[in-house]
Structure 1
Amino acid sequence: MKTLIKQSRDALFQQEDINFLLTNRVPRIALTRFMGWFSKIRNPLVREASIGVWRLFTELDLREAKKTRFHSMHDCFTRELKDGARTVDADPAVLGSPCDAIVGACGPVAGVEVFQAKGFPYSAVELFGDAQAVEPFRDGSFVTLRLTSSMYHRFHAPHDCTVERVRYLSGDTWNVNPIALKRVERLFCRNERAVLEARLHAGGHRIALVPVAAILVASMRLHCLDVLLHVGYQGPTRMDVDAPYAKGQEMGWFEHGSTIIVFAPKGFALAEGIESGTRIRMGQALMRLPS
């Protein structure tokens, strides 16, 4: 029995080694630039072949998509959903999930330290790129939301709020799957990311959403900005905005799947059932506001 367990464990480690090598020990930024170009090709043969391969390796389900035909693979990546496909929790005491996702590391922020995986801490100061911006979330709560490649890739306001500032931090394009998170220290702090600082209309609480890009997907569109954030972006890194959103209103999208880390101040608590591995849909309860 012990031999079988050891063989199974060794096989798992070998699979993880192969996955890590194939998705990280490659020219990540070059592949990301290529995919950005390739995915936008508007050729029926390229489109159908690309989406067909995508379906072969993922659980891609387009039944909820607003459109039935797509111009390109990119058009499919960034698809909108039919009206009513997601229900937003209307309870004003609830902070809803900004996206469809699988919950990763989550829980309390220890000072300014959070975890990407067991035994792999990182500093929220490094993630945000600004020590002062982290202070509202000292000893608060966080949830890591991982979007797989087949999921709906747009993200929405978790509550009635106003985005006051966006900070863009250029970086690498490591894969952000669980295998990489267990092997690459401070991975989220290494990758390209944006920090959206917002204030809730209820109680004036601050929250922050940190979309993190990854290999093949280092590009994100925010409605509050008139520029596309991507690996070649050379504009200002800090942008003050005044963009109000209603709960559930679309804020932007990834060019593919990736990660959003949600930060809330002390007093917020994870909603019932939110733990690592939980599958959640946009609009479902993610955290509860202080009573």
Structure 2
Amino acid sequence: MTTTTTRSAATTSDASLGDQLFAAVQRCLPTRALSALMYRIAEIDSPAFKNPFIKAFMRGYPIDLAEAERETVEQYRHFNDFFTRALKHGARQQPKEPGVLSSPVDGRISQLGPIEDGRIFQAKGHDYTAAELLADDALAKAFDGGSFATIYLAPHNYHRVHLPFGGKLRSWTYVPGRLFSVNPATARAMPRLFSRNERMVAVFDTAFGPMAVVMVGALFVGGIETVWGGRLTPPHDRGTAPHHHHPDQTVALARGDEVGRFHMGSTVVLLAPKGALDWDSQLVAGQALRLGQPLARVLQRVTA
């Protein structure tokens, strides 16, 4: 497995002056209000508004509608409908081997490596704890000495999140927080970014033990949805206490099944227990990924 840079509180950040200024501006913004406004704008269904809006977006980003179920702008009800578009059947394939963890999204590796002393590497000079990310000290202990992968979804990416390995939903938690951008510039400059932002933490029981799938909200991410609970946000909770939930009925998903979706770009963080996975040695920070791409072999299997 490719390891990340050794972490130290004294390590100097790679953030440029521009990165630092961008992060400083965000601290002053009403990020929840702006994200809620973006959600409302993105749900305007007037063809006179949504069609030019979608076309302008497509001129700015490399989006191929030929792989989507609906191939024309006019077929989408509004921008959010376009942004969370489904792919054609077979557009992304899962690995043939059953004992492989696959990419849950189209995106780019932000960081990948071990969870050392309960801490997760964010960027040079910055880390955060698994307990902070999960909003659960006891749950975090299950991942002591384990591994993580952080995957960034740019605005042009497919924005549905799928399960990287089959499992049964144990619990899920909505954690209120800020809505800072999660792009690389902010990650380099903003301490504890992913554990400060609003997020949804889902824990699945799998053949290799618990697996956490964390969907992190961000600036202009107007909404997060799950397949078992529907729309989670908006509204964006201004409180600080996490909302812990257990499913009312069994939610068992196979590898590749949809977990949820983002309205606008964001980040997914995966956590696995110690000794569970052997990550592909070719994976490095900055590498582009496609949904279903093999990421790791399962080494450890547990009985239910």
TM-score if structure 2 supplies the norm length? 0.85
- The corresponding residue for 1:101 is 107
Deviation of 1:13 after TM superposition, in Å, equals: 4.6
Runs of 4+ in 1 over 4 A off after TM superposition: 12-25, 233-236
- The corresponding residue for 1:149 is 155
Gap change, CA 1:47 and 1:21, over 3 Å in 2: farther
8 Å CA contact retained: 2:222, 2:234: yes
8 Å CA contact retained: 2:224, 2:261: yes
Unaligned regions of 5+ residues in structure 2, if any?
1-14
Give 1:225's match in structure 2, choosing from 207, 226, 229. Answer: 229
Quick one: distance in 2 between partners of 1:61 and 1:15?
31
Q: How does 1:9-24 map to 2 (within 5 A)?
A: 13=16, 16=19, 20=23
8 Å CA contact retained: 1:173, 1:218: no
- The corresponding residue for 1:120 is 126
Deviation of 1:211 after TM superposition, in Å, equals: 0.5
Gap change, CA 1:17 and 1:139, over 3 Å in 2: closer
Aligned length: 278
Quick one: distance in 2 between partners of 1:240 and 1:71?
33
Give 2:261's match in structure 1, choosing from 241, 249, 253. Answer: 253
8 Å CA contact retained: 1:213, 1:258: yes
8 Å CA contact retained: 1:103, 1:277: yes
- Please list the CA deviations of residues 193-229 of structure 1 after superposition, one character each: whole Å capped at 9, or x if unmatched: 01110011x35x1110110000110421111224533
Give 1:160's match in structure 2, choosing from 140, 159, 166. Answer: 166
Please tell me the root mean square deviation across aligned C-alpha atoms, in Å.
Answer: 2.1
Gap change, CA 1:218 and 1:130, over 3 Å in 2: farther
Give 1:213's match in structure 2, choosing from 211, 217, 222. Answer: 217
- Please list the CA deviations of residues 230-251 of structure 1 after superposition, one character each: whole Å capped at 9, or x if unmatched: 3435998111123100111111
Q: How does 1:262-273 map to 2 (within 5 A)?
A: 262-267=270-275, 268-273=277-282
Deviation of 1:26 after TM superposition, in Å, equals: 3.1
Counterpart residue type for residue 62 of structure 2: E
Deviation of 1:78 after TM superposition, in Å, equals: 0.5
Deviation of 1:53 after TM superposition, in Å, equals: 2.4
- Please list the CA deviations of residues 102-156 of structure 1 after superposition, one character each: whole Å capped at 9, or x if unmatched: 0011101002101111110111101111111111111101000100011000011
Q: How does 1:191-206 map to 2 (within 5 A)?
A: 191-200=197-206, 202-203=207-208, 205-206=209-210
Gap change, CA 1:80 and 1:23, over 3 Å in 2: farther
SS state of the match for residue 63, structure 2?
A: coil
Quick one: distance in 2 between partners of 1:256 and 1:216?
7
Quick one: distance in 2 between partners of 1:60 and 1:27?
30
Counterpart residue type for residue 217 of structure 1: V
SS state of the match for residue 107, structure 1?
A: strand
Quick one: distance in 2 between partners of 1:220 and 1:139?
29
Unaligned regions of 5+ residues in structure 1, if any?
1-11
TM-score if structure 1 supplies the norm length? 0.89
